[in-house]
Amino acid sequence: MYSVTEQEMIETETSPQNKEVLAIEVMGLTKRYGPNTVVNNLNLAIPQGSIFGFLGQNGAGKTTTIRMLLGLIRASSGRASILGHDTVTQRNQILPRVGAIVETPTFYPYLSGRENLKQLALIARVPFSRITEVLEQVELKERASDKVKTYSLGMKQRLGIAAALLNNPQVIFLDEPTNGLDPQGTVDMRNLILRLAQSGRTIFLSSHQLHEVEQLCSHVAIINRGKLIVQGSIQELLEGTTKTLMEVAPLSTAQRVLAQCGGQNIQETGLRSLQLEIDPQLVPDAVQALVGAGVRIYSVGQKKASLENYFLAVTGGEELDGEQSAGADTAEDQAA
């Protein structure tokens, strides 16, 4: 787990070894609209071939960041590079190697799916033969001749992915790709993203669906109100969040013994339940000591914090997507 400082970013940037393997680098990227700073001095380092989850609540600045990276809007300050090319001055070299869905995919409703892709193929100078390939990839070939206005949201999302894949990109930006999808659509989309990642592409996945990100991503960054809170691999981030849970009686004796055995942050969570942090290697000795002290042990288990809990903890347990997440306090404790 690490928070990225500007200094660290500069070190990352100047290291030739890292430069070769980073798909996206963002340095001090800032976007202001009048007095409002929507993205504030953002630094990101995204390894090539990773599925990178870009997490934040609605309005945290995720889409604005993607728009800046793609050149749809201009940064107020800072800079970014994709595959080693500056996103402002070398956009010509970047665009042929990048695919993107920005927010909800939008198409011309009076054209068919295939015709919409033809539009983009003509602009990106991609041969029409590629259209059939990507339609097959997203399993939309059967409906390709139907007008887009007849498509369901899930089909539009898949067509959006097809559009993003049209130029066979090395880096794919997916902005909330499962937004509004039904459970089956969400599963299909998740499988599709995994298939894309298997081909070695770097996937930048912006989302507030934490469960989805946890299942898909190897690395994540969390932003809150435009500021980077933390970034790293999910494994690193969740390391140290494992808690040991015990059902024991009496609690007072158990707490005293566990403290002597190296237990920390011991908390009562029920009439005969404890939660503590302890090195897993010390658990057998602790159990033996508890038995020796006359403590009755009903169960011993471990609990790892989910990314959702971690997210809520580092963003201050604020409402996620308009709903108060249950157990936010516990999550905060767990991730602390």
Partner 1 sequence: MLGLMRAEWMKVTRQGTTRILMGLLAGISVLFVVGLTMSVTATQPGNENLLLRQEAFSRLGFPGGVFTGIDIIRNIGFFIVAIFFSSVIGSEYGLDTWKNLLVRSNARGGFLAAKLLVTGLALLVVFIITVAIAQLVALGGHALISDTATQAGLTNQVISADQFFHNLWVQVVPLLLSYAVGATFAAMFTIITRSTVSGILLTVVWAILDTAVAYLVPSVSDFTLDKNIASLGKYLDSAASGTMPLWQNLGVFGAYFLIPMIVAIVIFRRRDMAGN
Binding site for partner 1 (CB under 8 A): 67, 70-74, 91-92, 95, 98, 100, 102-111, 115, 118-120, 122-125, 163, 167
Tokens of 262: 């190296």
Residues 6+ apart with CB under 8 A from 20: none
Q: Which is nearer to partner 1, 110 or 298 (CB)?
A: 110
Residues 6+ apart with CB under 8 A from 55: 62, 207, 208, 210, 213, 220, 221, 222, 223, 307, 311
Q: Which is nearer to partner 1, 103 or 333 (CB)?
A: 103
Least separation in angstroms between residue 110's CB and partner 1 is 6
Least separation in angstroms between residue 88's CB and partner 1 is 10
Question: Within 10 Å of residue 159's Cβ, how many Cβ atoms?
Answer: 25
Q: Which is nearer to partner 1, 147 or 225 (CB)?
A: 147
Cα–Cα distance for residue pair 159/192, rounded to 1 Å: 12
Least separation in angstroms between residue 41's CB and partner 1 is 19
Q: Which is nearer to partner 1, 108 or 298 (CB)?
A: 108
Q: Which is nearer to partner 1, 73 or 245 (CB)?
A: 73
Is residue 16 classed exposed, middle or buried when 0-12, 13-18 and 19+ CB atoms within 10 A define those classes? exposed
Least separation in angstroms between residue 91's CB and partner 1 is 5
Q: Which is nearer to partner 1, 150 or 324 (CB)?
A: 150
Least separation in angstroms between residue 79's CB and partner 1 is 17
Consecutive H or E run containing 215: helix 210-216
Q: Which is nearer to partner 1, 3 or 132 (CB)?
A: 132
**DSSP-derived secondary structure letter, 149:** G
Cα–Cα distance for residue pair 230/148, rounded to 1 Å: 39
Cα–Cα distance for residue pair 278/284, rounded to 1 Å: 11
Least separation in angstroms between residue 73's CB and partner 1 is 4
Least separation in angstroms between residue 37's CB and partner 1 is 15
Cα–Cα distance for residue pair 122/86, rounded to 1 Å: 25
Cis amide prior to 250 (ω within 30 degrees): yes
